[in-house]
Amino acid sequence: MKAFAPLLKKIARLRILVVGDVMLDHYIWGDATRISPEAPVPVVDIARDSWTAGGAANVALNIASLGAKCAVAGYIGQDEAGAKLTAILHGKKITTLATPGDGPTIVKTRVLVQHQQLCRLDREAPPTAYAFPAAQADALLAKEIAACDAVIMSDYAKGILSDALVARVTKLARAADKLVALDPKPKRRLAFHGLDLITPNKRESLQLAEIELAPHTPFPAAEVCARLHELYGTKHLVITLGEDGMLLSSNGKVLTTIPTAAREVFDVSGAGDTSLAGLVLALAAKATLETAALFANAAAGVVVGKLGTATVTPKELLDHVNHR
């Protein structure tokens, strides 16, 4: 674990580009002590509101929080939510590359009562409103890809990433000899091949591998890893297993499983974004896959101990590791 301090110094010299579905996370904090006379629902007395970057923008926020430079490309609407999201990102010195589109900024509003999520309200348009034509990728992204150390495509199935755009970004990254990673969402199946890293969770890995399991069947790790390598030709595969940690695979072979690093879990919102950011930063800093996974796991272990979509600083990460 002592390797994390020099690793963080290397990370501070990196620049990462994130391409994907950005959104604004809105939290309404309050208390509920009575039931509405109009319907059998709680009445929430609002104490405060807070906002942070969500989706691909939260990946960018985590990258910046860990000390690297970052740019993020995604749809940001010409509305109040878009202005708020832009201000949050610029406040962390993250460059924003606004992609074309024709919809509102995506907003997820969570109502929390006594630190428990009561409900979530989503504001968004159909995926077609956020589509980013691959033909425009060169003009918007080529210069940034050439200047960065790695590219992350963060898919939340909202419409930014298409087969054509993924292919174009991959080609640009390959031409510039940059590490390229994808966090996929199989419900909007994307065509991709030959990436350096993909980071599905357990359920997503089964969907991508086209494997159906009967209830209570043990996870077929070797079969899933071999199948995903056969289908997608990805160099590294990290499957997040929730409370069971991370499964690591290279070139279709299972390497090891890293146990979870969390001491206390208050909120898993955004933990996958933190994990993705940590993995790519460490790999771009030339760490091994196992060291990158340990680093990412430790970062996610800090974040799940916080309420709401959160990030981790180098000091918090080192303190967490030293006191585990």
| Catalytic sites, residue numbers | 273
CB burial of 93-106 (b: ≥16 within 10 Å; e: otherwise) equals ebebbbbebebbbb
CB burial of 18-46 (b: ≥16 within 10 Å; e: otherwise) equals bbbbbbbbbbbbbebeeeeeeeeebebee
- Cα–Cα dist 113/47, whole Å: 10
Instruction: Write out the two tokens for 22.
Output: 């950005």
Q: If DSSP codes are grouped into helix, strand and coil, which group holds residue 170?
A: helix
Residues recorded for the chain: 324
Beta-carbon contacts of 139 under 8 Å, excluding residues fewer than 6 positions away, are none
Q: Is the CA virtual torsion 155, 159, 163, 165 positive or negative?
A: negative
Beta-carbon contacts of 102 under 8 Å, excluding residues fewer than 6 positions away, are 125, 129
Instruction: Write out the two tokens for 26.
Output: 């809105």
Alpha carbons within 13 angstroms on the beta-carbon side of residue 64 total 22
The amino acid present at 120, given as its one-letter code, is R
What are the CA-CA distances from residue 246 to residues 200, 213, 218, 285, 293 (Å)?
Answer: 10, 20, 15, 20, 7
- Cα–Cα dist 62/66, whole Å: 6
